[in-house]
């Protein structure tokens, strides 16, 4: 029996086998494998000359350093990476508008917040330290509250400390500090926190409460300063007393039926392999198209993994403002990497390469697949909140923890996370739905992976069928009818806010 291979685009000169093949194995279409080829790695479909482009997704992912025969394993050591797309005069809006699939559902049941543009899907009391110095006290108070207070407020899902590493000891009056300060400010306003604000400061930190709060919010009912409290006991008492008042208000909230235009969802991938870009990410892309078509806001990020396919995103920008900001975000990130002596070849990771992702271009094309086909309505700087609906590029590093924190700051209430190699990643402030790129991962981790997209590689399900399953799971999770595994186990990674400013 021949081994199934997947060629994504008709112009591709490489394909990937859906399972590991041994030298001499016969592949679908009659090709013979010339090497032992790991699952998901590339195989030459025809003889390729030295210097010839390697084409996947219909795009050049690099140039061959040496000639290869049909059936040969094409791995990362054989490919030269070309420079990234030019950001100056990048054409935009040139892609013909795709007809989005018709969403079968247009409402969900969430927690509306009067005056806010998005609704929450969980009912969480969040407490933000203004500076890391107070986190120990805040954590102790949260532990005590979970034991003694939370059981009295059954409508409240959790109490979450928004711990972060900054607030002091970092250069404040520099342009790049606007990123972490703005991110913290917006994080406080994540819709899952129900509009309640609670900040605990020390009293001598650089980040004063007025930098996080609007004047009317900066009041004793929202802010505690530990240096004004009498001892540890006084600190804990002050935090519990403030929290109790807020828990009463949160506990009175009820879910109501809301249009999907009130929902803001984030997409990201991590621990990717060669299947991510052909199974889980396109499935997420289809769900994204359904959500965008229903009027929801869908955020995708991971600047370093979009950079090499940025011309494809620019082509989908709905307006000049978005296209210009897209180029500006990429330029800023290029400079940020350069300042650190790094470049885009710092990504992919060894795990990515082992999984068959040879170059950053190949990874980018697979990464972009999660954005579906909808037009890009808006581009955000890291931690900014959207003003539009539909598909939105929210600039943020690809690092899973940083992307998670930055999308939370931008206001996502749920994240969809695609993984090939597998990661138990989760967030305390928003449920995370995990989608596997291969069936073998779902079999290995049946109680961590929510949805298996490996069915696409096996040919037992189409992208649209799996995408619809994911869309329904997103709406069920948003409505409180489904709890993703990471939420059930409370798998909460530390919040890692993006801070490009110098630590002093
Ligand atoms: Ca990531």
Give residue-wise pLDDT tens across range 248-261: 999 999 999 999 99
- Helix H or strand E segment including 145: helix 135-148
**Distance between Cα 386 and ligand 1 center (Å):** 20
Structural contact between residues 322 and 379, judged by C-beta atoms closer than 8 angstroms: yes
User: Which of 201, 228, 251 is the last residue in one of the domains?
Assistant: 251
Tokens of 337: 């990497």
**Distance between Cα 7 and ligand 1 center (Å):** 25
Q: Which residues of the chain have pLDDT under 70?
A: 346-347
Report the pLDDT value the prediction gives residue 93, as an integer from 0 to 100.
Answer: 92
**Distance between Cα 29 and ligand 1 center (Å):** 35
Structural contact between residues 144 and 110, judged by C-beta atoms closer than 8 angstroms: no
Q: Distance of CA 69 to CAs 35, 107, 466, Å?
A: 11, 54, 36
Q: Compute the distance between CA of residue 42 and CA of residue 44 in angstroms, rounded to an integer.
A: 7
The pTM of the full predicted model, rounded to 2 decimals, is 0.94
Q: Domain range spanning residue 397?
A: 259-488
301 and 228 belong to one structural domain: no
Q: Which residues of 402-421 are buried (b: 16+ CB within 10 A; e: fewer)?
A: bbbbbbbbbbbbbbbbbbbb
Q: Compute the distance between CA of residue 457 and CA of residue 40 in angstroms, rounded to an integer.
A: 10
**Distance between Cα 269 and ligand 1 center (Å):** 5
317 and 371 belong to one structural domain: yes
Report the pLDDT value the prediction gives residue 22, as an integer from 0 to 100.
Answer: 96
Report the pLDDT value the prediction gives residue 59, as an integer from 0 to 100.
Answer: 85
**Distance between Cα 317 and ligand 1 center (Å):** 22
Ligand 1 (ion): residues with CB under 5 Å are 268, 270, 398, 400, 403
Domain-located, residue 366? yes
Question: 372: exposed, middle or buried (C-beta count within 10 Å: 0-12, 13-18, 19+)?
Answer: buried
Report the pLDDT value the prediction gives residue 157, as an integer from 0 to 100.
Answer: 98
Q: Could you tell me the CATH number of the domain that includes residue 153?
A: 3.40.50
394 three-class SS: strand
Report the pLDDT value the prediction gives residue 390, as an integer from 0 to 100.
Answer: 97
Domain-located, residue 498? no
Q: Distance of CA 49 to CAs 13, 30, 57, 68, 80, Å?
A: 12, 21, 20, 7, 13
Give residue-wise pLDDT tens across range 371-392: 999 999 999 999 999 999 999 9
Structural contact between residues 242 and 198, judged by C-beta atoms closer than 8 angstroms: yes
240 and 279 belong to one structural domain: no
217 and 274 belong to one structural domain: no
151 and 229 belong to one structural domain: yes
User: Kindly report the CA angle at 303 between 277 and 103, in degrees rounded to 5?
Assistant: 55
Residue 450 DSSP label: S
Report the pLDDT value the prediction gives residue 273, as an integer from 0 to 100.
Answer: 84
Helix axes 135-148, 231-251, angle to 10 degrees: 50
Domain-located, residue 143? yes
**Distance between Cα 431 and ligand 1 center (Å):** 16
Domain-located, residue 499? no
**Distance between Cα 323 and ligand 1 center (Å):** 23
- Nearest to 8, CA basis, from 75, 58, 64: 58
- Helix H or strand E segment including 16: strand 14-17
Q: Could you tell me the CATH number of the domain that includes residue 72?
A: 2.30.130.110
Report the pLDDT value the prediction gives residue 479, as an integer from 0 to 100.
Answer: 98
Q: Compute the distance between CA of residue 298 and CA of residue 22 in angstroms, rounded to an integer.
A: 42
**Distance between Cα 417 and ligand 1 center (Å):** 8
Tokens of 383: 């931690």
Q: In degrees to the nearest 10, what's the CA dihedral of 360, 366, 368, 369?
A: 170
Report the pLDDT value the prediction gives residue 105, as an integer from 0 to 100.
Answer: 97
Domain-located, residue 97? no
Q: Compute the distance between CA of residue 35 and CA of residue 50 in angstroms, rounded to an integer.
A: 18
**Distance between Cα 17 and ligand 1 center (Å):** 25
Tokens of 52: 């010839």
**Distance between Cα 315 and ligand 1 center (Å):** 23
**Distance between Cα 385 and ligand 1 center (Å):** 19
């Amino acid at each position: 029996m021949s081994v199934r291979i997947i060629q994504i685009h008709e112009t591709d000169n490489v394909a990937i086998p859906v399972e590991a093949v041994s030298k001499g194995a016969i592949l679908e279409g009659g090709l013979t494998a010339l090497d032992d080829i790991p699952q998901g790695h590339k195989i030459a479909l025809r003889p390729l000359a030295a210097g010839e482009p390697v084409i996947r997704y219909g795009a050049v992912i690099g140039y061959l350093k040496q000639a290869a025969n049909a059936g040969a394993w094409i791995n990362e050591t054989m490919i030269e990476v070309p420079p990234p797309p030019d950001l100056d005069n990048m054409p935009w809006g040139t892609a013909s508008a795709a007809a989005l699939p018709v969403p079968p559902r247009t409402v969900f049941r969430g927690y509306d917040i009067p005056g806010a543009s998005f609704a929450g899907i969980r009912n969480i009391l969040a407490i933000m330290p203004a500076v890391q110095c107070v986190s120990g006290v805040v954590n102790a108070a949260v532990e005590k509250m979970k034991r003694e207070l939370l059981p009295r407020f059954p409508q409240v899902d959790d109490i979450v400390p928004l711990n972060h590493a900054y607030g002091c000891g970092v250069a404040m009056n520099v342009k790049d500090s606007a990123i972490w300060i703005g991110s913290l400010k917006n994080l406080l306003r994540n819709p899952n926190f129900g509009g309640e604000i609670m900040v605990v400061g020390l009293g001598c930190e650089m980040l004063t409460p007025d930098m996080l709060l609007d004047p009317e919010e900066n009041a004793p009912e929202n802010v505690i300063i530990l240096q004004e409290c009498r001892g540890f006991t006084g600190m804990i008492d002050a935090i519990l007393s403030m929290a109790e008042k807020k828990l009463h208000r949160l506990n009175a909230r009820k879910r109501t039926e809301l249009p999907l235009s009130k929902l803001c969802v984030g997409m990201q991938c991590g621990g990717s392999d060669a299947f991510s870009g052909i199974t889980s990410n396109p499935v997420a892309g289809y769900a994204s198209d359904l959500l965008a078509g229903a009027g929801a806001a869908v955020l995708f990020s991971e600047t370093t993994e979009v950079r090499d396919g940025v011309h494809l995103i620019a082509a989908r920008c709905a307006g000049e403002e978005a296209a210009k900001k897209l180029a500006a975000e990429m330029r800023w990130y290029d400079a940020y990497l350069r300042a650190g002596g790094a470049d885009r070849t710092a990504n992919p990771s060894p795990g990515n390469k082992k999984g068959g992702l040879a170059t950053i271009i190949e990874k980018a094309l697979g990464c972009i697949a999660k954005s579906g086909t909808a037009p890009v309505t808006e581009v955000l700087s890291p931690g900014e909140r959207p003003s539009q609906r539909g598909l939105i590029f929210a600039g943020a590093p690809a690092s899973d923890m940083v992307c998670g924190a930055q999308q939370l700051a931008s206001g996502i209430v749920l994240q969809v996370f695609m993984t090939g190699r597998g990661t138990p990643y989760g967030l305390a402030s928003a449920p995370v739905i995990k989608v596997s790129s291969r069936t073998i991962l779902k079999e290995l981790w049946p109680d961590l992976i929510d949805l298996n997209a490996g069915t696409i590689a096996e040919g037992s399900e189409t992208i649209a069928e799996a995408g619809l399953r994911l869309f329904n799971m997103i709406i069920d999770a948003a409505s409180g009818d489904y709890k993703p595994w990471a939420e059930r186990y409370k798998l909460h990674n530390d919040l890692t806010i993006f801070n490009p400013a110098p630590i002093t």
